[in-house]
Amino acid sequence: EDQVTQSPEALRLQEGESSSLNCSYTVSGLRGLFWYRQDPGKGPEFLFTLYSAGEEKEKERLKATLTKKESFLHITAPKPEDSATYLCAVLRTSGSRLTFGEGTQLTVNP
Amino acid sequence: NAGVTQTPKFRILKIGQSMTLQCTQDMNHNYMYWYRQDPGMGLKLIYYSVGAGITDKGEVPNGYNVSRSTTEDFPLRLELAAPSQTSVYFCASEGTGATTYEQYFGPGTRLTVT
Give the pLDDT confidence of A59-91 residue by residue, as tens digits.
999 999 999 999 999 999 999 999 999 999 999
Chain B interface, mutation test: which of A97, A99, A104, A105, most B Cβ atoms within 10 Å? Answer: A97
CATH of residue A36's domain is: 2.60.40.10
pLDDT tens profile B99-109? 678 899 999 99
Residues of chain B found within 8 Å of residue A31, distances taken between Cβ atoms: 101
User: Which of B43, B60, B87 to mutate to test binding with chain A, by most A CBs within 10 Å of its CB?
Assistant: B43
- Structural domains counted in chain A: 1
Mean confidence (pLDDT) of chain B: 93
Non-local CB neighbours of A52 within 8 Å, separated by 6+ positions: A66
In CATH, the number for domain B4-107 is 2.60.40.10
- Mean pLDDT (chain A, rounded): 95
Nearest CA distance, A85 vs chain B (angstrom) = 10
In terms of C-beta density within 10 A (0-12 exposed, 13-18 middle, 19 or more buried), how is residue A61 classed? middle
Among candidates A31, A45, A100 on the partner chain, residue whose Cβ is nearest the Cβ of B43? A100
pLDDT digits (tens, 9 = 90+) for B45-75: 999 999 999 999 999 999 999 999 999 999 9
- State the smallest CA–CA distance between residue A77 and chain B in angstroms: 26
* Domain ranges across chain B: 4-107
Distance CA B65, CA B101 (A): 24
